[in-house]
Structure 1
Amino acid sequence: MESLQPIDIFHLMYDNDPFSKWMDMKLSHIEKGSCTLEMTVKEPMLNGFSIAHGGISYSLADSALAFAANSRGPQCVSIETSISHLAPTAKGDQLKAVAKEKHRGKKTAIYEVTITNQHNKTVALFKGTVYITSKNWNNIK
């Protein structure tokens, strides 16, 4: 069986991901071990301070992590994540999340995700650890 490419795995995941679709995340780059997603902050994503809810940047980073980690073929699930919010984001802001693999072992991998706005200002830093399962995306298609 021919091995799936990262873009194929992305589509298998994204096509069954109503939350990432609701956030209107768009893929701008994917390769083994990395993924870049972009999205625009919309009014329903704002909190009581009229800035984006922290869960919005967290969710964007978490999805970038998921697509990057799974891009190699084995199915991965997050086991620990954290985020530091460095600057607020507002309605209309264009956010970009760049996930990069920092370590990949036999059972776990670590990723860093940097989120920037349309001015290339870093608004959040995210770190995620995933567990690499014995299931493989190549067996699903």
Structure 2
Amino acid sequence: MDDDVFATAHARDMIAADQASAMLGIEVTSASPGEAIVRMRVRADMLNGFHVIHGGLVFAVADTAFALACNETDAVTLAAGADIVFLTSAHEGEVLTATAQRRSLVGRAGVYDVRVQADDGRMVAEFRGRSLTTRRPVPDRSIPEKDMP
């Protein structure tokens, strides 16, 4: 992951500590306030019983793009809710690209849309996330225990 793709240190630090996205092999292409693009290659261990990507993992790649886009400032911003519409399936070896864009930001509440596409341009899913900027301080990465609730 190249640090140059990040517009804010907060987003860079957040994704660096995101073990779930790392385990899924999610790569950040770009991350700037209100926008983000991430990619994930579909692996054999990501397939469901019908040999297509598990819907939860499509949600995960969209959610990672959403998280990067909505953490626009140094304030901790979390999902308040999200919906996804699955449009088609993806298969082993395909690369999914999730592109997130802010639609509105009023006070501490935001709305972000994420398009998930396969590498051939097929639209795999559309995701809408609702964010809430908390009053929590940014976690001190040098003291992991401070991240615990």
Pair 1:83 & 2:84 matched = yes
Deviation at 1:135, TM superposition (A): 3.5
Instruction: Provide the C-alpha distance between the structure 2 equivalents of 1:28 and 1:10, rounded to a whole number of angstroms.
Output: 13
| Aligned residues: CA RMSD | 1.6
The letter for the 2-side match of 1:52 is I
Instruction: Provide the C-alpha distance between the structure 1 equivalents of 2:7 and 2:109, rounded to a whole number of angstroms.
Output: 19
SS at match of 2:12: helix
SS at match of 1:63: helix
Partner of 1:110: 111
1:41-74 Cα offsets, whole Å, 9 max, x none, are 0011000000000011100001111111013322
- Normalization by structure 2: what TM-score? 0.85
Instruction: Provide the C-alpha distance between the structure 2 equivalents of 1:21 and 1:94, rounded to a whole number of angstroms.
Output: 15
SS at match of 2:66: helix
The letter for the 2-side match of 1:74 is A
The letter for the 1-side match of 2:47 is L
SS at match of 1:103: strand
Structure 1 segment 65-76 matched on structure 2, within 5 A: 65-76=66-77
What is the percent sequence identity of the aligned residues? 24
Partner of 1:99: 100
The letter for the 1-side match of 2:72 is S
- Normalization by structure 1: what TM-score? 0.90
| Runs of 4+ that moved beyond 6 A | none
Instruction: Provide the C-alpha distance between the structure 2 equivalents of 1:71 and 1:44, rounded to a whole number of angstroms.
Output: 33
* Contact 1:104/1:110 (8 A) holds in 2: yes
Higher strand proportion: 1
1:16-58 Cα offsets, whole Å, 9 max, x none, are 1110001111111111111000110001100000000001110
Runs of 5+ consecutive residues of structure 2 not aligned to the other structure: 1-5, 142-149
The letter for the 2-side match of 1:118 is D
Pair 1:58 & 2:63 matched = no
Decide whether aligned partners of structure 1 residues 78 and 33 sit closer, same or farther in structure 2, where only a CA change above 3 A counts: same
Instruction: Provide the C-alpha distance between the structure 2 equivalents of 1:122 and 1:72, rounded to a whole number of angstroms.
Output: 30
Pair 1:31 & 2:32 matched = yes
Instruction: Provide the C-alpha distance between the structure 2 equivalents of 1:140 and 1:8, rounded to a whole number of angstroms.
Output: 13
* Contact 2:8/2:73 (8 A) holds in 1: no
Partner of 1:16: 17
